[in-house]
């Protein structure tokens, strides 16, 4: 018959949690830019809805969108979009 040995419980069970919190805090400080640096440009600013139309039968919705502000992160933006939902 085998005997099952149990691991002794640590005397300070909260220490692993403190180490984890410390590592998260240090990584946050390393990744976060300092106050003196210029801020990065956002990926995009989004679109605003200019008009919405619904077909006579109520089965097609068309929304005309216009770019709020350009961003050059991924290249040129599309200034006017039409979103059609059927």
Q: CB of 85 within 8 A of CB of 65?
A: no
Helical spans, DSSP H, in the chain: 15-31
Mean pLDDT for 23-36 is 63
Confidence of residue 19 (pLDDT cuts 50, 70, 90): low
Q: What's the confidence (pLDDT) of residue 14? A: 57
Is the pLDDT confidence value at 22 over 80? Answer: no
Angle at 68 between CA 67 and CA 70, to 5 degrees: 75
Q: What is the largest CA-CA distance in the chain?
A: 81
Q: CB of 43 within 8 A of CB of 73?
A: yes
Q: Which token pair is 38?
A: 């210029």
């Amino acid at each position: 018959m085998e005997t099952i040995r149990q691991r002794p419980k640590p005397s300070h069970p909260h220490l692993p949690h403190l180490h984890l919190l410390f590592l998260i805090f240090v990584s946050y400080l390393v990744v976060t830019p300092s106050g003196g640096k210029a801020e990065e440009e956002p990926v995009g600013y989004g679109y605003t809805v200019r008009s919405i139309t619904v077909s006579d039968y109520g089965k097609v919705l068309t929304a005309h969108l216009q770019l709020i502000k350009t961003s050059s992160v991924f290249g040129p933006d599309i200034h006017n979009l039409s979103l059609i939902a059927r």
